[in-house]
Amino acid sequence: MQAAGMRCRMDAAGNLIGRWEDEHQPAEAVLIIGSHLDTVPDGGRYDGMLGVLLGVALVEAISRTEAKYPFAIEIVGFSEEEGVRYAAPYIGSKAMAGRFDRELLDRVDDQGITLADALRAFGGSPQSIDSAAVDPARVVAYLEAHLEQGPVLQDEGLPLAAVSAIAGQTRLEVRLAGGGGHAGTTPMNLRRDALTAAAEWILQVEDFARESIGMVATVGVVEVSPNVSNVIPGEVRLRLDLRHADDADRSRAVAELCRMGLELGARRHVSFEPRTLHVQDAALMDTAMTRMLQESVADAGVRPLTLISGAGHDAAVMAGHCPSGMLFVRCRDGVSHHPNESVECADVVLALTAMWHFVRRLALRTGARADVTGR
């Protein structure tokens, strides 16, 4: 960041911030470009870091031109997005968005270290964490570039896409309880097999999501009891993860799937007991920012596809605080959270180009003082 001409600081939440502005024309307004510095254990190189480095590279490129901008640019490396250590995601962006929950400071990690102590040891300042919040009145926009972490761009043959929303999510745990019994001695018509009931519901979930545009639904966890080859499964526990950009559609889907589960359970004399583990509403990106990103993607010579993000990002938090836009970069085979995570250099160049066009369009839109035609 310093080599790219930025002044650097760390805020109270451990976020790394590099600020660039025209030294002759200091600006009150700021464009924040960011993503996160942390990663999951045994993850890849690009999840988070790609967006931070794209911001740094963008400033480096812009600082070599004569263009004038009516805002400063701050590149932010958020301190903690994945939520691995304290089972709490978005610590950095929540602090910056003024939405940090101070009760988290007392939460301990596996070693019994509180978040407050960990933050202090890192150089942050838990007691003044509120100071990390930025004033939304002075933020022109938040922009985040991130690898897609999914296979759609590769499947479409496109390097980039604007993100219009980050899907909301419901996680359910479902317990199905039937009757056990000997696999050899219990005739088919006297069975109350919890696994065949679960299988029927798993297929209903798949069918339902396939027929619902923009929905993804996954049963990822299945625990069979007793899980022995010659005993009819008496109990199955499974977990459903259902996501959609429209919160009402998501709620209706969950209710309908539970209704179907209860119905098949009644027919099979197997109880169907759903329990909500987690609900997160969708986060919409700013419409104007998304339109500008689409135009910027087209400026870079790429067909401007718009995607819904099924995964969470700092942009979901920042979108509640200031006008936010998000750019996806194609990743190989949709693989993320794995050492095989991979992006093409040419795609990164296109992302940088689109981001540069975005900054130019934002400047044109924002200020009369802008002169962004210079080189």
Name the site residues for its own copies (rule: CB under 8 A).
148-152, 155, 167, 169, 171, 181-190, 193, 195-196, 198-200, 202-203, 206, 209-210, 215-224, 227-233, 239-241, 243, 309-312, 334, 336-337
User: Residue 298 belongs to what H/E stretch?
Assistant: helix 287-299
State the nearest-atom distance from the C-beta of 243 to its own copies, in Å.
5
Torsion angle of the four alpha carbons 302, 304, 310, 311, in this order, in degrees rounded to the nearest 10: 50
Q: Which is nearer to its own copies, 183 or 284 (CB)?
A: 183
Q: Which is nearer to its own copies, 35 or 196 (CB)?
A: 196
The closest alpha carbon to 195, from 266, 255, 256, 265, belongs to 265
Burial of 308 (0-12, 13-18, 19+ CB in 10 A): buried
Judged by DSSP in three states, 187 sits in coil
Q: Which is nearer to its own copies, 117 or 200 (CB)?
A: 200
State the nearest-atom distance from the C-beta of 102 to its own copies, in Å.
28
Q: Which is nearer to its own copies, 155 or 371 (CB)?
A: 155
Residue positions counted in the chain: 375
- In this structure, what token pair is assigned to residue 113? 């270290």
Q: Which is nearer to its own copies, 340 or 373 (CB)?
A: 340
State the nearest-atom distance from the C-beta of 83 to its own copies, in Å.
12
State the nearest-atom distance from the C-beta of 310 to its own copies, in Å.
3
The CB density around residue 190, as the number of other CB atoms within 10 Å, is: 10
DSSP for 318-365 reads: HTTTS-EEEEEE--GGG--SSTT----HHHHHHHHHHHHHHHHHHHHH
State the nearest-atom distance from the C-beta of 192 to its own copies, in Å.
11
Dist CA 36 CA 273 (whole Å): 38
State the nearest-atom distance from the C-beta of 209 to its own copies, in Å.
5
Q: Which is nearer to its own copies, 108 or 216 (CB)?
A: 216
- The gap from C-alpha 138 to its chain's centroid, in whole angstroms, comes to 25
State the nearest-atom distance from the C-beta of 187 to its own copies, in Å.
6
Q: Which is nearer to its own copies, 26 or 187 (CB)?
A: 187
Q: Which is nearer to its own copies, 19 or 250 (CB)?
A: 250
Question: What are the contacts of 18-26 at 24+ separation with CB within 8 A?
Answer: 18/56, 18/59, 18/74, 18/75, 19/72, 19/73, 19/74, 20/59, 20/62, 20/63, 20/72, 20/73, 20/74, 20/75, 21/71, 21/72, 21/73, 22/68, 22/69, 25/68, 25/369, 26/72
State the nearest-atom distance from the C-beta of 150 to its own copies, in Å.
3
